[in-house]
Every structure is written in structure tokens, then in C-alpha cells.
A and B are shown apart, each in its own frame.
Chain A
Amino acid sequence: MEKPFRRRDLLGIRDLNAAEVRGILDTAENFREINSREIKKVPTLRGKTVINLFFENSTRTRTSFELAAKRLSADAVNISVSSSSVTKGETLVDTALNLDAMDPDCIVVRHGSAGVPHQLAKVSRAAIVNAGDGANEHATQALLDAMTIRDHNGKIEGLKVAIVGDILHSRVARSNIHLLTKLGATVKVAGPGTLVPSDFGHLVESGLTMCPHVEDAIEGADVVMILRIQRERQDSAYFPTLREYSIHYGLTTARLELAKKDAIVLHPGPMNRGIEIASDVADSSRSLILDQVKYGVAVRMAVLYLSTGGSMGSS
């Protein structure tokens, strides 16, 4: 099937080069202003249709995409397929073809299985935006993290970023590692050995170090990124108890002391307070978790704009 001339997918950060990543961030930067206006709406995508196709629950990401679409005057439709079509025996490809037949301009897809956006992109005429696929990528999360870091530090190049937690199952970690190393940061990752496979060091060509202990990763860091522990992992015996996890791998004030004095703390949410992050750290001024959420809308506006025809600029 022929794709419209100007459609552009965002399947992952992995496929982008540094200039493209900067282009999206710069465009997002220019969209921030709209979100501070009295009337938070521009007519740019009037008449365009954005389908938020969520096979996995995520109130925040879905709301963020929905607001982004609406602030650009696109018509946004939310579809939760958590169980409906799948249990009816409809194949993934059928679902995609059915939606495509309604001529949306963009399909934002979230799915528990890696690669679903790539599979949809092959059969759909609409632009596909990956809103998180299994353990593969969560591109817009990495972009909003980068925006938060850039806003605070003025740059990304040369920064030291620690990523701590369940790396194995984390799409946030993958997208961030790709993005941060592309933009010249150095990334150190750490977590339980069962969740930080050593082969992970080969994920990117350079700029990534595997650390044996959480402390090694955090020491001297400009940014400490904490990953969410999915409670169901505990049942698969990746670690014995949440209690033990919080003691040995959680971000406490004491561990944060090892980072640079003005280091910032990021978390993709929703947080498990007292498990991967101590409450006092989460509530401290160094935690920019709410900024992340705020920038999420601007990033998603930029992505929707670019995937349906806009072009990347600079401020």
C-alpha cells in the first residue's frame, strides 16, 4: 500500500540520528510556549485525525497524547483494545487494517509486545507513533526526559547520566540510552544482576557502561534516572522481595549524595514510593518528575506535528 507522501513514523529513537533527535527537541521547545497561553490551542492540525490505540493501560501517556492532539486542533479518538478485539480472535493486522480504512492521519500505538508499531507501519497508511512497545522503546518518554535535562542543564552533551533499576524489561531505559548517547552524554546503568544482563553493554557503540553496583553508577552523575519496578517481576523471582530491592537498589538521600551536588532526579512514573525511590527524594527540589510530565505534552505535540507534515526547525 502506498503511503502518503509526507507521512513520517516515529518507531523508536534507535532509528533516528542525532540531528533528527535535536530537531524534534527544538520543535518541542517551540511548542512549550503554546501550553502556557491562555488559549492553549492552535489550528495547525485542524481536520486531521489522531487515533490513540492503546493495547495497554496508561492514563498518563494517553492523556498526554490526547492533549497534544487537541491543542493542535486534531480530532483525537482513544481506543483501548486491552482485551476486546484480541479475545474476539481478530489479528493485529486486521485491527490495523480496520482502523486504516477510517483514514486516520496518525495512529499512536501502545502495546505490551515489542515490535507492534513496526508491524503496523508495514500495513497502515497512517503515520505510526510508538507510545511504548513491550520492552523495546518508549520514544516520547526519552524525548521528554531529554527536554527536562536540557532545560535544567542547558545541554546534554558531556553529561553523566545514571540509569538504575530493571533495565532488562525497560523500554524507557532503551530509548534513553539511545537518545542520550546519540547526543553525547555518557550513561552508566546498574541494578540487580538478574535485571541488568551484561550483553546490554553492546546496545550502543559507545558511551554506555555497565556498573556492578548502584553506587558506582550514581557517583558523580549529573542526572539520576530511576526506573519503575514492575511488581509482577518479583513473582518471576528476579529478586527476592520488594523490601530487599528498596534497601539495596532504591534511590535514597544517602545514595543521591554520591551524585553531583546539583544533580537532578528523573522517574518515568508512576512511582513506587519507598521501593525504587524514597519519598523524600521524590519530593525534593532535585526531583523534576512533574517537569517531565509537563514537557511530555510539548514533545508529543512536536511529534504529532512532524509525523503529519511539519518539518524540524530550531529556535
Chain B
Amino acid sequence: MKLLISNGHLIDPQAPENTGMSVLIEDGIVKGWLRNGEAPPEGTEVFDASGLLIAPGFIDLHVHLREPGQEHKETIASGCAAAVAGGWTSVCPMPNTTPVNDNAAITRYMIEQAERAGLANVFPIGAITKSSDGSELAEMGEMKAAGAVAVSDDGRPVPNAGMMRRAMQYAKDFDLPVVDHCEDKSLSSGGVMHEGKVSLLLGLKGMPALAEDLDAVRDIILAKETGSHIHIAHVSTAGAIEAVRRAKNEGVNVTCEVTPHHFTLTDKVVEGYDTNTKMAPPLRSEEHLAAIIEGIKDGTIDAIATDHAPHHADEKALEYDRAPFGITGLETAVGLAFNELVHKGVIGLERLVEMCSANPARIFNLQGRGTLKPGSIADITIIDPQRTWTYRGADSRSKSRNSPFEGWQFTGRAVTTIVGGKIVYQA
């Protein structure tokens, strides 16, 4: 099967000389580039992308697909459906399933479920420690062999520095990046929102920025010493961003991601006690948001990842203190990136694609992805930058609707998603 995507605006930071080019796909691979107007080989289907952006498929480094074990929140199939509807061709699920993805069998199961769904690619992240309880290393080598692309204990960050050091040393043997949710729980436990003026005003227990800063600094020092690659997940504080900036200057192998909600919202939105404003790390204050925007601008922040964390409506219909952390994000991310970053002039399209595709592919060593150079895998995100639309949870493909962006209007959305040369979503 041959498909030609023509007349669009091709954006590929890995191959910038691409003006006026069409992308020819054959058997799931980018066969080559044609000049717009050039006749494709016989039997080629043509997709007219006039007025649209053609980008290498977006890769979300941080999602929670809840399967196995919490299928009432999300399944791999429903999560992948939400992913492709949001323009994501690949997603990397965290290991906090039930049971925890701390062995090759579960890693393999997740990949098989994704293949069965036939929508987005799923690249699982394995656990650092067995059951993510911080005490014994998980079988990283076996998980890697089964298809895991990184390791993390995500929301249950390894509290013990000695264990974290060993984990980094061991992960390095398998070229696995260590994904680090930075939170010193001795400072944040019991907290439900950012600690600051708003938490004091609302009488809610705070999670200080300090908890993220300290853990980030600790793990950067460990990464420097071990020479391992650490990837700091959902960075949200000025302190952590500054630590990453310095570490990068010193040549430490550190990368980081930011979520759309952290570059969009502040803790002020917690004022109505809507539990869909509760997540970890929490929405921070103005000054942290400013530091995030600065980090996106100057390249300190490498990637945009959603931290898509579906929860059932009943679980969120609780007291703010008792409701679980997390919001959905796969379907709103591109809209938020356009609203908050592109249309506001924070970054250009090239950089957006870098943050959503080229860099994520590099960070998790996803060969043949993150670019549309001939020979690469034909994962493509096609975006209409001018399409105005409204997010409605009721129309969501995710099983959950725990989003603070209900009713938000966006300009810019993924209109066609191609995975392995196959159109899997069209808006």
C-alpha cells in the first residue's frame, strides 16, 4: 500500500531542508520525498494536506494506561484511542499498573494489548524496583528485552539515595534512561496542592516546591557520578529547572519533560476545590509557571509529555483531600501547546515538533522515529493549526473525563494520525 501526503507544510527538525516536499509512504516506511506536484508511482493513494502541518509522529513519554488491573479507569485500547485522537502516535505507559510492570511478562502483555488495539505504539516503562516499593531492583534487562524503553518508579520515587544510585548504575548497563518523578515525600506527604499563598488561603495541605527541588538535585548529583541518563518527569518548579539547566551545562546526561497543564495553569485554579485540579506534581504558582515558560524557550526543557492519568468519575467525586492525583491529557495536549506556546509566540512550530517528537524519540532511543527522513517509520501527525474546537469530556475516547479543561476552546488540533503508514484517526 502506497500513500502520498502532499501539499502540506512539512516540519522535521531532523531534516530541515524540506520546503515543498511530499512524503511517500510504502509498507509502513517513509519511502522517500517527492516535490509537491511530482507524480507518485502508480497505485498511490494521495492525501491532500493543503493548509496542514505534517510532522513526525508525536511521542508521549509519560502516560498511565491503567491496564492491567485498573481497567475501569482506562484500558490500553481506550488509552491508545485517546492518544491517536490527540495526535500521539506513540505512548510510554508508566509501570504503576496492578500488578506493577516490574517484569518482562507484564511488559510483553502491554505491548500485545497495544498491537491488538492497532492504534498507537506502546513503549512501556518498567519499574526500577520490584513493586515500585524502593527495596529491590526489578529485572531491567529482561524488561528491556521484552520491549521496555526506560525505567521509573514514577509516583513512588525511590526514597533511598543508595538504592537510586545502584538503580542508575544498573540501568546504564542496558542503556535504559531512568525516569525520575522528583518528590521528597518527607516534605510533601499529606499535601494535596502546591504549598504557598493559595494553599494557606484555602486551608489545604501544601506540597512545597522544595520537595521537587531537593530530589531533582539529589538525582542530578547521582547521575553526574554514575554517568547514567536521567530523565526528569513533569518538571514543575523553578528550582528543578534551574538545576537541570546547570547540569546540562556541566555535561550531565539529564533531560526533562513538562506537562501541558503545568505550562498552562497555576494553583489559583484550585480555588473552587475542583478535584480535577489535583495532580502530582501540583499546579504551581505564577513564578514557577514563568520559569517553565523560560525553560521551554531556552531549550532546558526537552519534551512535552501529558502525564495522562485517568481516574473514574466516582474516584474524583470525593473531598479534595481524598481524591486521587492526576488528570487526563492525551486529547488536550496539542490544543494547549498551540494556545499557550505557539499562538502566544513562546516557541515556533519547529521547536514544538522537536519537543513532541524528535526529542522524545532521542530521549527513549526510539530508532526510526521522531523524523520523516526516508527510511524512517511512517508515524505521522497531521495538524490543522487554525482549526478551532472545544474540548468536551463527553466526546472523549478515554474511559475517564477527569480534565480541568472541560469546555476550553482551542485553536489548533491534530486532524489525522498515521501510525505505521496506516491512518488510525481522522477528525
A interface, CB within 8 angstroms of B: 14, 91-94, 111-116, 118-119, 133-137, 168, 171, 174, 197, 199-200, 202-203
Is B161 part of the binding interface, using a Cβ–Cβ cutoff of 8 Å?
no
Contact B320 A94 (CB under 8 A): no
24 contacts across the A-B interface (CB closer than 8 A): A14-B201, A91-B314, A91-B317, A91-B318, A92-B317, A94-B317, A113-B319, A113-B321, A115-B204, A116-B319, A116-B320, A119-B273, A134-B203, A135-B204, A136-B203, A136-B204, A168-B200, A174-B201, A174-B203, A199-B197, A199-B200, A200-B200, A202-B197, A203-B200
Please give, as numbers and ranges, the residues of chain B lying within 8 Å of A92 by CB-CB distance. 317-319
8 further A-B pairs in the complex, CB-CB below 8 A; given A116-B273, A116-B320 = A114-B202, A114-B321, A115-B204, A115-B273, A115-B319, A119-B273, A119-B320, A203-B200
Is B196 part of the binding interface, using a Cβ–Cβ cutoff of 8 Å?
yes
Contact A118 B273 (CB under 8 A): yes
Contact A118 B272 (CB under 8 A): yes
Report, nearest first, the 3 A-B pairs whose CB atoms are least far apart.
A115-B273, A136-B203, A135-B203
Is B35 part of the binding interface, using a Cβ–Cβ cutoff of 8 Å?
no
Is B387 part of the binding interface, using a Cβ–Cβ cutoff of 8 Å?
no
Complex Cα distance A114/B321, Å?
A: 8
Contact B314 A133 (CB under 8 A): no
Complex Cα distance A249/B180, Å?
A: 42
Is B322 part of the binding interface, using a Cβ–Cβ cutoff of 8 Å?
yes
Residue of B196, B202, B314 touching A115 (CB-CB under 8 A)? B202
Chain B CB within 10 Å — which of A133, A199, A203 has the most? Answer: A199
Please give, as numbers and ranges, the residues of chain B lying within 8 Å of A203 by CB-CB distance. 197, 200-201
**Contact A199-B196, Cβ < 8 Å, known A113-B320, A137-B203:** yes
Complex Cα distance A113/B203, Å?
A: 9
Taking CB atoms and an 8 Å cut-off, the chain B residues in 76-125 that contact chain A are: none
B interface, CB within 8 angstroms of A: 196-197, 200-205, 272-273, 314, 317-322
Contact B203 A171 (CB under 8 A): yes
**Contact A134-B318, Cβ < 8 Å, known A114-B204, A199-B196, A200-B200:** no
Please give, as numbers and ranges, the residues of chain B lying within 8 Å of A174 by CB-CB distance. 201, 203
Please give, as numbers and ranges, the residues of chain B lying within 8 Å of A134 by CB-CB distance. 203-204, 321
Contact A115 B200 (CB under 8 A): no
When C-beta atoms are compared, the residue in chain B nearest to A167 turns out to be B200
Contact B320 A114 (CB under 8 A): yes
When C-beta atoms are compared, the residue in chain B nearest to A119 turns out to be B273
Please give, as numbers and ranges, the residues of chain A lying within 8 Å of B197 by CB-CB distance. 199, 202-203
Complex Cα distance A203/B201, Å?
A: 6
Q: Tell me, rounded to whole Å, the shortest Cβ–Cβ distance linking A117 to chain B.
A: 9
Complex Cα distance A93/B322, Å?
A: 13
Contact A197 B202 (CB under 8 A): no
Please give, as numbers and ranges, the residues of chain B lying within 8 Å of A197 by CB-CB distance. 200
Q: Tell me, rounded to whole Å, the shortest Cβ–Cβ distance linking B161 to chain A.
A: 23
Contact A114 B203 (CB under 8 A): yes
Q: Tell me, rounded to whole Å, the shortest Cβ–Cβ distance linking B318 to chain A.
A: 5
Please give, as numbers and ranges, the residues of chain B lying within 8 Å of A199 by CB-CB distance. 196-197, 200
Contact A113 B200 (CB under 8 A): no
Contact A113 B272 (CB under 8 A): no
Please give, as numbers and ranges, the residues of chain B lying within 8 Å of A113 by CB-CB distance. 319-322
Contact B273 A114 (CB under 8 A): yes
Q: Tell me, rounded to whole Å, the shortest Cβ–Cβ distance linking B346 to chain A.
A: 28
Chain B CB within 10 Å — which of A114, A133, A137 has the most? Answer: A114
When C-beta atoms are compared, the residue in chain B nearest to A133 turns out to be B203
Q: Tell me, rounded to whole Å, the shortest Cβ–Cβ distance linking A205 to chain B.
A: 12
Complex Cα distance A272/B340, Å?
A: 53
Q: Tell me, rounded to whole Å, the shortest Cβ–Cβ distance linking A55 to chain B.
A: 9
Complex Cα distance A86/B186, Å?
A: 28
Chain A CB within 10 Å — which of B197, B314, B317 has the most? Answer: B317
Complex Cα distance A136/B204, Å?
A: 7
Please give, as numbers and ranges, the residues of chain A lying within 8 Å of B205 by CB-CB distance. 135
When C-beta atoms are compared, the residue in chain B nearest to A111 turns out to be B319
Complex Cα distance A136/B192, Å?
A: 14
When C-beta atoms are compared, the residue in chain B nearest to A197 turns out to be B200
Q: Tell me, rounded to whole Å, the shortest Cβ–Cβ distance linking B201 to chain A.
A: 6
Please give, as numbers and ranges, the residues of chain A lying within 8 Å of B203 by CB-CB distance. 114, 133-137, 171, 174
Contact A93 B200 (CB under 8 A): no
Please give, as numbers and ranges, the residues of chain A lying within 8 Å of B317 by CB-CB distance. 91-94
Complex Cα distance A202/B197, Å?
A: 6
Contact B320 A115 (CB under 8 A): yes
Complex Cα distance A137/B197, Å?
A: 15
Please give, as numbers and ranges, the residues of chain B lying within 8 Å of A202 by CB-CB distance. 197, 200
Q: Tell me, rounded to whole Å, the shortest Cβ–Cβ distance linking B189 to chain A.
A: 11
Complex Cα distance A79/B317, Å?
A: 20
Q: Tell me, rounded to whole Å, the shortest Cβ–Cβ distance linking A189 to chain B.
A: 12
Q: Tell me, rounded to whole Å, the shortest Cβ–Cβ distance linking A268 to chain B.
A: 15
Chain A CB within 10 Å — which of B314, B318, B319, B322 has the most? Answer: B319
Please give, as numbers and ranges, the residues of chain A lying within 8 Å of B273 by CB-CB distance. 114-116, 118-119
When C-beta atoms are compared, the residue in chain B nearest to A123 turns out to be B317
Complex Cα distance A14/B272, Å?
A: 13
Q: Tell me, rounded to whole Å, the shortest Cβ–Cβ distance linking A20 to chain B.
A: 19
When C-beta atoms are compared, the residue in chain B nearest to A11 turns out to be B273
Complex Cα distance A83/B204, Å?
A: 21
Chain A CB within 10 Å — which of B197, B201, B205 has the most? Answer: B201
Please give, as numbers and ranges, the residues of chain B lying within 8 Å of A112 by CB-CB distance. 321
When C-beta atoms are compared, the residue in chain A nearest to B196 turns out to be A199
Q: Tell me, rounded to whole Å, the shortest Cβ–Cβ distance linking B179 to chain A.
A: 32
Complex Cα distance A306/B18, Å?
A: 69
Complex Cα distance A171/B204, Å?
A: 11
Q: Tell me, rounded to whole Å, the shortest Cβ–Cβ distance linking A1 to chain B.
A: 15
Please give, as numbers and ranges, the residues of chain B lying within 8 Å of A137 by CB-CB distance. 203
